[in-house]
Structure 1
Amino acid sequence: MPILTVFYIKLVLCLLLTVAILWTTNKQNLFAKWQRENDKLLFGIGFLAVRLLPFIGIFLLIGEDPRGDVPFFFYKAEAAKSGGFVYRDFWSYHAPLFSYVISLPLWIWHNARAIVLLMVSMETLILWMTYQYYKKKTENALQLTFVYWLLPAAFMYILIDGQEEVWFWGAALLMVAYARKHPQMYEAGIGVFFAMALLFIKVTFIFFLPPLLLIVRKPLKMVLVMAAIGLPVLGFLYWQIGDLFLMPIQHTEQLMTPNLFSVLRPFIELFVTINEKNSPMLNWVGLVFTLLIPSYMAWQHRKQHIIQLLPSLFVATFACMMLFQASAPGAYLIAYLMAVVFELIDLKNMWHMTVLLTINWLTVVQPFVYVYNKQPSYTDFSMFAVPVYLFEYLLQVISVLCYLWILRQSYRHIIRTNQSPAFA
């Protein structure tokens, strides 16, 4: 199917999903009743209607091939299934065990579609865990579940493109749940979950470590547990393949959109020319702000219990990553979108819903417009004389403003929870 046709279909799907979201937000009493009486049945119906049946229709009936990163996932999953050694025998920008995890469904169905089904299944498991956690806190948790399912970004990037970033929130949620169950002695458990995330998902999860260490009661204990798990693995990798295990870091050298650098580049280029030699410096500068802002938020409110702070700090960390890292793509919204819906959004607030829907539409539309127009780098203001360039640039600007709003909202949420009971 031609890429332009796929894009038009995505626009129609975005419109239908938005209409469904608006209907869902107006049925709070109905969803509250279902949550009290039949939540498991309704969750199953939701999964069937918004994930499984669309998967069957898109990939089995229509016969569409998976897009996005799935072909690359399939390449390394095949290599892992054949006994290849990660980084040495095949390329991977993920954690060392990720390729072996996504190779598991290939033993049952040797097809790239099996990887998409794995991603959908993992998203559903994480959403179920999220619902179970938040239904103890709010009567509209089931309604929030359906709102998330219907969000265009979640639908497109997980169901169609098979993205895995939502696993980040799964790891963070396990930490929250463990700290809730063990409110006084949680550092060892959180250290285990963090180390597992670094081994199974992506090295970029490390961005969350500095603010997390500032809010745990015994940071040294957590670091020692992580070291006990991670150092033997790193030692084994170095013994087998030398420094090839640093391959995931190379992925940070690519300049992507949208972020503060991509929208400020026309101004920056008035003073400094950005090329391949100095572009890695952008990520080092961005790294400072990516770590500094969430860490400041954590330090300022470190006396609060971890279960109050962790979800909002998680959102703030990866919102900062998307703002300040010049190599961060828009797809990373999936990493914290579920947390945003359950933790930060008021469905009755029109402004909240406007921002939520806007960033979801932009996450679907902007990458296509950017790639379809040959990935322009806005190094000169004269480029905006071309209408399509100006249009795509404005999409980036609005996206960045939405990320800033999410960051601000996460900070305000931390302040609001400052006076609330830790174990409400």
Structure 2
Amino acid sequence: MPVLTVFYIKLIVNLILTFGIIWTISRSDLFSKWQLEKDKLIFTLAFILLRLIPWIGIFLVLNEDPRGDIPFFFYKAEAAKKGGFVYRDFWSYHAPLYAYIISLPVWIWHNSRAIVLFMVFMETGILWLTYQTYKVKSAKALQLAVIYLMLPAAFMYILVDGQEEVWFWGAALLIWRYTIKKTENYEVGIGLLYALTLLTIKVTFIFLLPAMLVVVKRPVKMLLTMAAIGIPAIGFLYWQIGDLFLMPIQHTEQLMTPNLFSISRPWVELIFHINEKKSTMINWIGLLFTVFVPVYMAYKARHRHINEILPGIFIACFVCMMIFQASAMGAYVIAYLMAVLFEIIDIRKTRHVIILLALNWLTVVQPFIWVYIKQPAYLSPAMFANGSFLFEYVLQILNVACFFWILRETYRKVVITPNLAAA
């Protein structure tokens, strides 16, 4: 199917999903009742209607091939299935265990579509666990779970493209639930979970660590636990493949959109030229802010228990990554979208709903347009004489504005609101 046709179909599906979200928001009383009486049934029906049936329609009925990163994931899964050693026998920009995990569905069905279905089941499991965590304190938890399944970004990036970034929230959720269950002496447990996450998903999960070390009561104990897992793992990798295990770090060199650098670059270039092939310093500066902002928030809220602020710190960390990292791209919104919906968005407020929908539409539309117009790097404001460039640039600005709004609301929830309540 032609790329433009796929895009137009995505727009139509996005419109249908948006109407579904608006209807769901208008039926709060009904969903509150369902949450008390038949939440498992409603959740299962929503999964079947909004994930399983569309997957069958796209990949079995229409016989479409998976897009996005799935072909590369399938390459890694095949190599892992054949007994290849990660980084040495096949390329991977993920943690060492990731390729072996996504190879599991390929053992059952040797087809890249199996990986997409696996991602869908993983996302649904994380959503169910999120719902179970929030339903004890919110009568809208089931309603939010159904809304999430209709969010255009989640629908497109996971159901169609098989993105795995939602696993970040899944890992943070497990750590958070552990601190809820064990309010004291939790450092060994979360240190173990954190170390396993770094071996399983992506090294970028390390961005959350400095902020967590600020709010845990015994940071050294947590670090020692992580070291007990991490040092032997790194030693084993180095013994087998030398420094090839550093391969995931190389993936951070490519400049992407939308982020603060991509929208400021036309004006920065008026002062000095940016060499894209030597952009390491830009990412290091972005990394500084990505780590500093969540650490500052954690420091301001250090008097609160970690189980009160961990979701907010997690959101702040990964939204900062999308704002400040020049290598960040729109698909990364999947990392914290579920957490934002349950933790930050108030569906009773029109502004919250509008920004949530705008973020989802922008995240789906902007990357396609950027790629379609040949991924321009805006080196001068004069480039905006081209209407296509100007339109895509405006979409980037709106997208980054949504990120800043999420960061502001998260800061309010973690730092300001508790202080006002105590005043």
User: Is TM more than 0.5 here?
Assistant: yes
Please give the residue correspondences for 1:69-148 in structure 2 after superposition, counting only pairs within 5 Å. Answer: 69-148=69-148
* 1:392 and 2:392 matched: yes
Checking the alignment, whether the CA contact within 8 Å between 1:14 and 1:361 is kept in structure 2 is yes
Letter in 2 for 1:257: T
Instruction: State the 4+ residue runs in structure 1 displaced beyond 3 angstroms.
Output: 417-421
> 2:299 aligned with 1:299, yes or no?
yes
Q: Matched residues in 2 for 1:388 and 1:214: separation? A: 45
Q: Distance in 2 between matches of 1:44 and 1:22?
A: 20
Aligned identity (percent) is 64
Structure 2 match to 1:412: 412
- After superposition, give the CA deviation of every residue in 1:168-189 in whole Å (9 maximum; x if it has no partner): 0001011111001100111111
Instruction: Tell me if the contact between 1:84 and 1:90 (Cα under 8 Å) persists in the aligned partners.
Output: yes
* Residues matched between the structures, number: 421
Extract unaligned runs of 5+ from structure 1.
Answer: none
Match of 2:325 in 1: 325
Residues 283 and 326 of structure 1 are in contact (CA less than 8 Å); yes or no, is this contact kept in structure 2?
yes
Q: For residue 416 of structure 1, what is the amino acid of its counterpart? A: T
Query: Who is 2:284 aligned against?
Result: 284
Shift of 1:276: 3.4
Q: TM-score, normalised by structure 2?
A: 0.98
The AA in structure 1 aligned to 2:15 is: L
- Describe how 1:135-284 pairs up with structure 2 within 5 A: 135-284=135-284
Tell whether the 8 Å contact from 2:293 to 2:320 is kept in structure 1 after alignment. Answer: yes
Tell me the distance in 1 between the aligned counterparts of 2:272 and 2:230: 40
Indicate if the aligned counterparts of 1:304 and 1:418 stay in contact, CA closer than 8 A.
no
Q: Give the counterpart letter for 2:280 in structure 1.
A: P
Provide the rounded CA distance (Å) in 2 between the counterparts of 1:158 and 1:116: 7
In 1, Cα distance between the equivalents of 2:299 and 2:412?
Answer: 15
Which residue matches 2:27?
27
How far apart in 1 are the matches of 2:376 and 2:280? 19
Deviation at 1:277, TM superposition (A): 4.4
- For 2:418 and 2:311, the matched residues in 1 are separated by 11
State the distance in 1 between where 2:401 and 2:238 align: 42
Residues 1:58 and 1:420: Cα distance change in structure 2 (over 3 Å): farther
Aligned equivalents of 2:309 and 2:375: distance in 1? 38
Unaligned runs of 5+ residues in structure 2 are: none
Q: Deviations over 1:33-87 (max 9, x none)?
A: 0000000111110110000010001100110111110000000000000000000
Q: Deviations over 1:308-345 (max 9, x none)?
A: 11000100000000000000111010000000000000
CA distance in 1, matches of 2:420, 2:335: 28
Equivalent-residue separation in structure 1 for 2:150 and 2:22 (angstroms): 10
1:344 to 2:344 alignment: yes
Match of residue 335 from structure 2: 335
Query: Could you tell me how far apart the structure 1 residues matched to 2:421 and 2:314 are?
Result: 19
Counterpart for residue 57 of structure 2? 57
Q: Measure how far apart 1:193 and its partner are.
A: 1.0
Distance 1:204 1:12 in 2: 34
Aligned pairs for 1:11-26 within 5 A: 11-26=11-26
CA distance in 2, matches of 1:382, 1:418: 47
Instruction: Give distance in 2, aligned partners of 1:309 and 1:44.
Output: 30
Match of 2:8 in 1: 8
Task: Verify the 8 A CA contact 1:214 1:295 in the aligned structure 2.
Answer: yes
What does residue 43 of structure 1 align with? 43
Matched position secondary structure for 1:347? coil
Distance across 1 between alignment mates of 2:110 and 2:418: 48
How far the C-alpha of 1:417 sits from its partner, in A, is 4.2
Counterpart amino acid of 1:9?
Answer: I
The C-alpha deviation readout for 1:4-54, integer Å capped at 9, x for no partner, is 000000000000000000000000000000000000111110110000010
RMSD: 1.0
Counterpart amino acid of residue 212 in structure 2: L
Contact 2:255 2:276 in 1 (8 A): no
What displacement does 1:105 show?
A: 0.5
Code of the residue aligned with 1:10 in structure 2: it is K
The TM-score with structure 1 as length reference comes to 0.98
Q: Match of 2:239, as an amino acid?
A: W
> How far apart are the structure 2 equivalents of 1:394 and 1:93?
31
1:418 Cα deviation after fit: 5.2
Q: Is the 8 A contact 1:308 1:417 kept in 2?
A: no
Alpha-carbon deviation of 1:280?
A: 1.3
C-alpha separation in 2, matches of 1:198 and 1:129: 21
Counterpart Cα distance in 2 of 1:277 and 1:372: 23
CA distance in structure 2 between the partners assigned to 1:316 and 1:195 by the alignment: 21
CA contact (8 A) 1:258 1:330 kept: yes
Counterpart of 1:250, as a letter, is: Q
Local SS of the residue matching 1:224:
helix
Q: 2: CA distance between counterparts of 1:285 and 1:182?
A: 37
- In the alignment, which residue of structure 1 is the partner of 2:353? 353
Distance (Å, rounded) in 1 between the aligned partners of 2:420 and 2:83: 53
AA matched with 1:208? L
